[in-house]
Structure 1
Amino acid sequence: MRVELTDVSKGKNGLILEPTTLSFRTGEATFARAETEQRPTVLGLIASGRMKPDTGTVHIDGGVDNRAMRRHVALIDAPDVSEPASDVTVAGVVAEELMFAGRPSHLFAVNRTLDDLGLSSISRNAISTAPPTQRVRLLTELAVLRKDVTGLVLVSPDRHGGDPLEWWTIARHLAARDYAILVIAGDASATAINATADAPVSENATDELVPLFQKDWT
């Protein structure tokens, strides 16, 4: 699967999202730099087929098919859109996501899922208190349980704090499992990843979106 955004923008004169071009595809993790409160979520909505841009085009595998994008691309943890309610327990989030995936969501299934992920110790904690890396791992692993999901758009994982290299490693490993991954985060995360990544994040304009590709990860 390949998703391509070409000169997409939102708002008058690109006030909400400036004209942006990027692509992400199966087997690769792409890092997209976007700052301000709204832009990461807006870009995530467009990149997952859930919002129509005011300008530009969005293609999946060479064609225009927003329904296919919504079916195949999961939007992860986007503020005010797809983030879990802050007071829901980790176990509650798991139960809900298992239900969305059409899988058993009873207590035994929830506990087994958390045990498989090594997250049983935080099952009764509110999702808002989950350590950032564990939150990202939980939400992404639950998303790929959904039927037909072959791509993930993860929005602003940096807002939860923690080490960006940790969630970037999760993104890269998901790509190695043949998912198409787009991570949208800010300049500070780009700088941190740039210090150690094999393929550096560009130091161009704040809202330029630059892919980081690496397929043979250890």
Structure 2
Amino acid sequence: MTVISKLASSLNRRDEVPNQELATEIAVNADSTAVAELVENLSHKSKDIRHDCIKVLYEIGAQSPSLIAAYANQFAALLDSKDNRMQWGGMTALNTIVLEQPDVVFASIPKLAAVADKGSVITRDSFVAILIQLSGIPAYSEQTLPLLNEQMLGCPSNQLPMYAENALPVISGTHKAEFVRTLTSRLGDFEKDPSVSGWRRF
């Protein structure tokens, strides 16, 4: 049985359980052949197959980043796709391998930013998570921390507490004062919407 035959769409399933189970099976067995087959089918003529393949790949990445890291360029190429599902799927996959392939991910920042600006909350979440990881790497932090600050300035108020909390470990030195100013400047947003969870911590 091929990997493609185990995908949710191949099984006529509308839920994601088969894809999640397949990802775990591949990750546990370190099945690089299966990963290669999934990557090859990211350009399959069937949209459902393409969507299932990227789903399984980023689920594998969440469990075993090194298993999909060699395909960072293929995931980055998906950022140019006209299919939104493939765009944010590629971004999600890149988010799992930042520490494995920081050079490729860093070089993709302009495209990542463009996708995040036009995309959903999930897309923005992935972009911020990528920036946070890159900001924890000294070689990239000076370039990525200002971009992270921009995201905090413009993100929806209900996302800001999570972004700020996740970013705290990588914010240091001269950038700390800038982030404090950003958070302080947005306190008015929370006064308008005091139901936003977690805002009092900041």
Normalised to the residue count of structure 1, the TM-score between the two structures is 0.31
More strand by share: 1
Larger Rg: 2
Where relative contact order (Cα < 8 A, 6+ residues apart) is larger, the structure is: 1
